[in-house]
């Protein structure tokens, strides 16, 4: 899923920074039918297909979903998703203030 997202990024400098962060991720979530089923639940709740898969993958990995897409953040909050979708800046500020 992320490979498709990476291909959409035309700004090479931005892509290199994102890939550097991605390489630092210790855990990778593998796609299986349970991800598809969970994404289908989100889709039925009105979440767009790609966003639903991002949510299902993040949920499976037990990770917060960091996005700059305010529409996705609002949509995720209205579902049964067990993780938080939030803006990366808000996430960093939360980590900083909780230290």
Full 3-state SS string of the chain? CHHHHHHHCCCHHHHHHHHHHHHCCCCCCCCCHHHHHHHHHHHHCCCCHHHHHHHHHHHHHCCCEECCCHHHHHHHHCCCCCCCEECHHHHHHHHHHCC
Q: Report pLDDT digits (tens) over 51-67.
A: 999 999 999 999 889 89
In this prediction, residue 87 has a pLDDT band, given cuts at 50, 70 and 90, of very high
pLDDT, the chain, mean: 87
Domain ranges for the chain: 29-97
Q: Is the pLDDT of residue 81 over 80?
A: yes
The arithmetic mean of pLDDT across residues 30-36, rounded, is 93
For the domain bounded by 29-97, which CATH number is listed?
Answer: 3.40.50.1010
Percent of the chain predicted with pLDDT > 90: 47
Q: What is the pLDDT of residue 69?
A: 93
pTM across the whole model? 0.74
Rg (Cα) of the chain, in Å, rounded?
A: 14
The arithmetic mean of pLDDT across residues 32-54, rounded, is 95
Q: What is the pLDDT of residue 1?
A: 63
């Amino acid at each position: 899923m992320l490979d498709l997202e990476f291909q959409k990024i035309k700004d090479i400098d931005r892509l290199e920074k994102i890939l550097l962060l991605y390489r630092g991720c210790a855990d990778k979530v593998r796609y299986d039918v349970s991800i598809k089923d969970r994404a289908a639940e989100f889709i039925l709740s009105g979440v767009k297909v790609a966003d639903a898969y991002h949510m299902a993958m993040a949920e499976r990995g037990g990770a917060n979903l960091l996005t700059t897409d305010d529409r996705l953040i609002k949509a995720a909050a209205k579902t049964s998703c067990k993780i938080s979708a939030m803006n990366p800046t808000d996430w960093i500020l939360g980590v900083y203030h909780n230290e």
